Chain A
Amino acid sequence: MPATGDPRARLSGVTKVFDTGNRQGTVHALGPVDLDLAAGEFVTVVGPSGCGKTTLLETLAGLTSPSAGTVAFEGKPVLGKVPRGIGIVFQEDASLPWLTVWDNIAFGLRRAGLAADEIRARVDYAVSFMGLGAFAAAYPAQLSGGMRQRVCIARTLVLQPRLILLDEPFGALDQQTRLLMGDEVLRLWRETKASVLLITHAIDEAVMLADRVGILSARPGRFIELVETGWPASRSSRIVAEEAFGRLTAHIWSKLRVEAMKALGRVGEVSRAGP
């Protein structure tokens, strides 16, 4: 159990420097970054390509260790392995092609050694919650990309994580499917009361989903601003029609535009064009 007063997760001064292994030496990919994720909070992170978004998520997950700074989950330091209670959904399709949808979702539970009837109850629930009922016996190759990503989300969901990390989970999907998948994630978030950190390059997605949107600078990624959206917990993709949504999106784009141009290597044009 987390000690009272501790946030669900905390990044303090996290920096990541990669050794490229060639003459260029090292690449400063990220940070320093500070972030507190409150219990039950939904934070999205946007940033230009190559700004270290995925590195941020993998560091928080314990999949990679920071070059400097500390990471804590429920008050305990994250060191070299993924703590129990953190669930991760990757950008790539991570469904296992040799297992059925049902067995894919049960995969983590079986490795964790849960009782068979507990596994059945949790998987059956996740299958119906994610709308995969008709496909439980199908193999991933028979499903669309969106359906496969649902399988991966369900596989994480059944482990009942208290922190869910999603790395551009809808990056490969079309716009309409993305908005609908966003609704699914919001529903899942309300249901599980977990904290969520979602990485994305889509500003509309970031604004629609989040309590707070973190804007990362061009590499090395640092938070330029953390924007409170003020949405009610009961929000859905319908808020894209609201005036506040347009205002927030415009504000974030005005901040991000400069960084995106830096990432493209067009710094000169930024200064000429002005704000």
Chain B
Amino acid sequence: MSVRDAGERRSLRLGDAGLLLLFVVLAWQALYEAVGEVALTPPVATLANAGALLRSPVFWGHAGATASAFTASLAIGAAAGVAAGLALGFRRFSGLVAEPILTSLYTLPKVTLYPLVLLVFGLGLSAKIAFGVMHGVIPVILFTMNAVRNVDPVHLKTARALNLTALQTAATILAPAVAPEIFTGLRVGFSLTLLGVIIGEMFASQRGLGFMIINGINTHNVPTMMAVILLIVAFAVAAGTLLLVADHKLHRRR
């Protein structure tokens, strides 16, 4: 493809993104006109409130609590998910048994289990982390397991033909072969872990952005609630886009 084509496609995509953004803002404004200040703040005012929040230490205290819970959840979910996925991928029979179980757990609304999580882990940080892990770990397991299953047998035969040691085979054939799929799993796990942590903070927690949202509803502080939601959405969309771009880069050569 020529440079000009690439440039044209890029501006086309940016144009589409701009249109989508415009549509969202207009719909938001229209909804505000319909339901009024009791439920919503309009886009421009929300942006201003979000700017003010970013300068307040109270917000950063809650954001820090969410960030540490999210980081811990993601680390545990990624490590446990990749480990379990590798084990289930290499043990074909265990993988076949585990797959339908994992898929049904994946579709189960985890909120139904939250009372149980609270009883087991108690109120506070550990319950939030556990709830985040519950959301994020299953896609990581499923993607990792399939990555291992999909390793091309001829690549393993090549490793034997070249007399590679087990360590060389793992490092130079298996690892690069499974990396893109595992990355996709981690990308999906990232979004779901964030979801789990924020839902976790909405109930039975006194800290974090999820708590700020639910507290905004309870004290009828609509401006703060809307501003927090806007900031979370902005973070999730930005992080998700970056991960998606990296994901496509990794998969492009396949």
Q: Are B172 and A82 in contact (CB under 8 A)?
A: no
Chain B contacts of A84 at CB under 8 A? 163
- How far is it, in angstroms, between the C-alpha of A107 and the C-alpha of B163 when the chains are bound? 12
Q: Are B162 and A108 in contact (CB under 8 A)?
A: yes
Mark out the residues of chain A between 92 and 133 whose CB falls within 8 Å of any chain B CB in the assembled complex.
92-94, 96-98, 107-108, 111-112
Q: How far is the CB of B124 from chain A (nearest CB, A)?
A: 43
Partner among A90, A111, A141 whose Cβ is within 8 Å of the Cβ of B168: A111
Interface residues of B (CB under 8 A from A): 152, 154-155, 157-158, 160-164, 168, 172-173, 176-177, 179, 252-254
Among B158, B161, B173, B176, the most chain A Cβ lie within 10 Å of the Cβ of: B161
Q: How far is the CB of B251 from chain A (nearest CB, A)?
A: 10
Chain B contacts of A92 at CB under 8 A? 152, 154
Q: Is A139 an interface residue (CB 8 A)?
A: yes
Q: How far is the CB of A218 from chain B (nearest CB, A)?
A: 26
Apart from the given pairs A94-B157, A96-B173, 9 other A-B contacts in the complex at a CB distance below 8 Å:
A63-B157, A82-B161, A93-B154, A94-B155, A96-B176, A98-B179, A107-B172, A140-B253, A141-B254
Main secondary structure of the interface of A (DSSP, over half): loop
**Which residue of chain B is the closest to A83 with respect to CB atoms?**
B163
Chain A contacts of B172 at CB under 8 A? 107, 111
**Which residue of chain A is the closest to B175 with respect to CB atoms?**
A98
Main secondary structure of the interface of B (DSSP, over half): helix
Q: Is A272 an interface residue (CB 8 A)?
A: no
- How far is it, in angstroms, between the C-alpha of A87 and the C-alpha of B163 when the chains are bound? 10
**Which residue of chain A is the closest to B177 with respect to CB atoms?**
A98
Give the 8 A-B residue pairs with the shortest CB-CB distance, closest first.
A92-B154, A88-B161, A98-B176, A108-B162, A94-B154, A139-B253, A94-B158, A97-B253
**Which residue of chain B is the closest to A156 with respect to CB atoms?**
B161
Chain A contacts of B160 at CB under 8 A? 63, 81-82
Q: Is A256 an interface residue (CB 8 A)?
A: no
- How far is it, in angstroms, between the C-alpha of A90 and the C-alpha of B156 when the chains are bound? 12
Chain B contacts of A93 at CB under 8 A? 154
Q: How far is the CB of B68 from chain A (nearest CB, A)?
A: 35
**Which residue of chain B is the closest to A91 with respect to CB atoms?**
B154
Q: Is A61 an interface residue (CB 8 A)?
A: yes
Chain B contacts of A140 at CB under 8 A? 253
23 sample A-B contacts, Cβ–Cβ < 8 Å, listed by A number:
A63-B157, A63-B160, A63-B161, A81-B160, A81-B163, A82-B161, A84-B163, A87-B161, A92-B154, A94-B154, A96-B155, A96-B158, A97-B254, A107-B162, A108-B162, A111-B162, A111-B164, A111-B168, A111-B172, A139-B253, A141-B252, A141-B254, A159-B162
